Chain A
Amino acid sequence: MSPNLRIWVAVKHGVDVGLTRADPATGVVALEGAPRKTSDFDRNAVEEAVRVRERSGGTVTAVSVGPPSAREALREALALGADEAVLFTDPAVPRFDTRAVARALAATCRTLGGFDLLLLGEGSTDHFGGVVGARVASELGVADLAYVRKLTVEPEGVVAERDLEREVEVLSARFPVVVTVGQEINTPRVPTFMSNLKASKKTIRQVGPAEVNLPASSLAPVQTTLRVAVPQVARKQVPLTGNSPDELARELLSRLRDEGVWP
């Protein structure tokens, strides 16, 4: 292994689910033009990439697949400490789905200098498919360690503690390796005025299918989204008050009795 770790981190500029608004009548959410931000777990992935570099040396390259506006996520990754950033974009692809993203990420890491460690979020905040990490690893023919909560870099590879529903596993794999993380792995640092200023001066490299040897036709989306809607649940919204906690408690219990949900 080279002493100079090539660390990559994939960041998605996804829909900001806290800011989307549904049509009050139909519940339909318009995703076109919806506010966007860096997908939550990707900030943990960037933080982890930067921590690995701080401990073991190397360079951190952030990569995003999307329209030119995805530069915002890359700009944030730079402000959080990434050294370089690459945007994969292509006006001929109407929408990057899971397959296109996995192919573009794999081809970009492979072509632009290769990688030892590729970090991703274990699921994106808006789509939450949880498959891009494994699919990229499959495309690249390398191991993927998913749902990692603790990551240690050794000379030849990584040791990762990962959290499944019913067990914790400690796994190891040699470089090159793909690792996916969730919010428990770390607390991302907050960009400072200086780090933002520094990031704003860096150039974000832009590539398309030709630069990474992919036919654009292999990126065409497979599925069609027919409708995204928020299920409408009407709640009574009754505020309960009382002159004392005891009075409030009795009031609540009497409501629950009236509703037939207790005892």
Chain B
Amino acid sequence: MNTGPVLCYSEEPELAEELLRWTHHQKLSEGAPVAAAVLGALPADLPQRYAAAGAQEVYRLAAEAPAFPEAGVLAEALAIVVREAKPRLVLLASTKRGKQVVGRLAGLLDWPVATGVNELRRDGEAWVLEREALSGNAVSVEQFPGGAAIFALTTGQGPPAAASYPLQIREVTGAFPPSRVERREQRPKGGGGVHLETAERIVTVGRGLKKREDIPMVEALARALNASVGCTRPLAAEAGWFSDDHWIGLTGHRVKPKLYVALGVSGAVQHLVGMRGSRIVVAVNQDPNAPILGQADYRITADLYSLVPALLRALGVPG
């Protein structure tokens, strides 16, 4: 097998650090170096950060990046680094932009790819990985040839810090290709800084909530239960009532609280995958046939608009 490094890349340094720590944690490098790729400018604090996350090498494309390095540009730049570093494995984060870069890189290198990878291990000559399948309803165990491959890992699992190693910086010469895409506008989406992955209690609302003005009622319940507020995809992505950090499910966050209270959530498989790790699930839905009720420890067939005020009264919250 190729003795090259495991090469980790994300344009978001926190995610690159997570990939580096993960590589150590899963012992993926098998004695070969653990490396990070940097495309373009190298911020002064980055080598130190990457070394603390376990990087032994940084491969840096020493060139000026275009004003808007879209996914196609990042992939071509990364391919230049890959041809130089000859890694055994390229790891990226399975974020939206990450998956886009993976798809383009796969086309350029013709290496096997997988996204949404939760587990990865060596099995003899092969790679064996686990990823979610069937919209998160199932886990698929897949075997890949043991040669070079590109895998995108589900982030947010945060393995512990690795030991720090002396760091080698290797400059790669090359140029960014011109961008085919122009960015006309960029707006950050508001985020409340909620981190549902570590929340102990979560109160989630779905489309059973009729209007935006009713959100304070749900927030009051969450406060009284010392819980964070979660939501389904439509409330974040369509209605825009919540920022994405509240969104739970296949395309949102995976949570594992002690207590999960679902209010007016139907329980689509794409939602269930996000909350399956919860210890106690309470579901409140006025439709006795809602799938969420079949996935609950305590099932309450009721109108949330009568139950939530009653809960607030029982909790002594002034109405």
Contacts and interface: CB of A to CB of B under 8 A. Distances in A.
A138 B139 contact: no
Contact of B140 (A102, A133, A173, A228): A228
B41 interface: no
Interface stretch (A3-11, A109-117, A219-227): A219-227
Contact of A167 (B113, B189, B311, B314): B189
Contacts of A256: 259, 280, 282
A230 to B, nearest CB: 5
A166 B189 contact: yes
27 contacts: A20-B137, A128-B135, A129-B113, A130-B96, A130-B99, A130-B100, A132-B103, A134-B106, A137-B103, A138-B106, A139-B107, A143-B72, A147-B96, A159-B184, A170-B186, A171-B182, A184-B237, A229-B139, A230-B139, A231-B139, A236-B298, A237-B294, A248-B302, A252-B300, A256-B259, A261-B258, A262-B259
Contacts of B75: 134, 138
B97 A164 contact: yes
Contacts of B139: 228-231
Interface in A185-244: 222-231, 233, 235-240, 244
B31 interface: no
A167 B188 contact: yes
Given A143-B72, A252-B300, A261-B201, A163 B237 contact: yes
Interface in B294-319: 294-302, 306-307, 309-311, 313-315
A146 interface: yes
Interface of B: 70-72, 75, 95-97, 99-108, 110, 112-116, 128, 132-145, 180-189, 191, 201, 225-226, 237-238, 244, 250-251, 258-259, 269, 276, 279-282, 294-302, 306-307, 309-311, 313-315
A14 to B, nearest CB: 9
9 closest A-B pairs (Cβ-Cβ)?
Answer: A134-B103, A138-B107, A131-B103, A245-B310, A143-B180, A170-B185, A249-B310, A261-B259, A236-B297
B315 A131 contact: no
B144 A223 contact: yes
Nearest to A127: B133
Given A20-B134, A144-B100, A238-B297, A246 B310 contact: yes
Given A134-B99, A261-B201, 10 more contacts: A123-B251, A134-B103, A138-B107, A143-B70, A144-B103, A144-B104, A230-B139, A236-B297, A249-B310, A261-B259
A226 B244 contact: no
Given A131-B115, A222-B112, A229-B139, A250 B104 contact: no
A250 B134 contact: no
B184 A235 contact: no
Contacts of A167: 186-189
Contact of A233 (B189, B238, B276): B276
B300 A248 contact: yes
Nearest to B278: A233
B140 A225 contact: yes
A126 B269 CA distance: 11
Contacts, number: 246
Contacts of B184: 159, 170-172
A29 interface: yes
A126 B102 CA distance: 19
Contact of A126 (B134, B185, B237): B134
A107 to B, nearest CB: 13
Interface of A: 15, 17-18, 20, 22, 27, 29, 98-99, 102, 123, 125-139, 142-147, 159, 163-174, 182-184, 222-231, 233, 235-240, 244-246, 248-250, 252-253, 255-256, 259-263
B310 A131 contact: no
Contacts of B310: 244-246, 248-249
A138 B102 CA distance: 10
A153 to B, nearest CB: 15
A115 B290 CA distance: 43
A17 B137 CA distance: 8
B97 A239 contact: no
A237 B297 CA distance: 5
A244 B94 CA distance: 47
B104 A222 contact: no
Contact of A137 (B72, B95, B132, B309): B72
Contact of A246 (B106, B182, B251, B314): B314
A20 B184 CA distance: 43
Nearest to B306: A245
Nearest to A98: B113
Q: Find the residue from A18, A129, A171 having the highest chain B CB count within 10 A.
A: A129
Contact of B188 (A18, A137, A166): A166
Contacts of A169: 183, 185-187
Contact of A226 (B106, B114, B143, B269): B143
Contacts of B294: 235, 237
A137 B296 contact: no
B99 A131 contact: yes
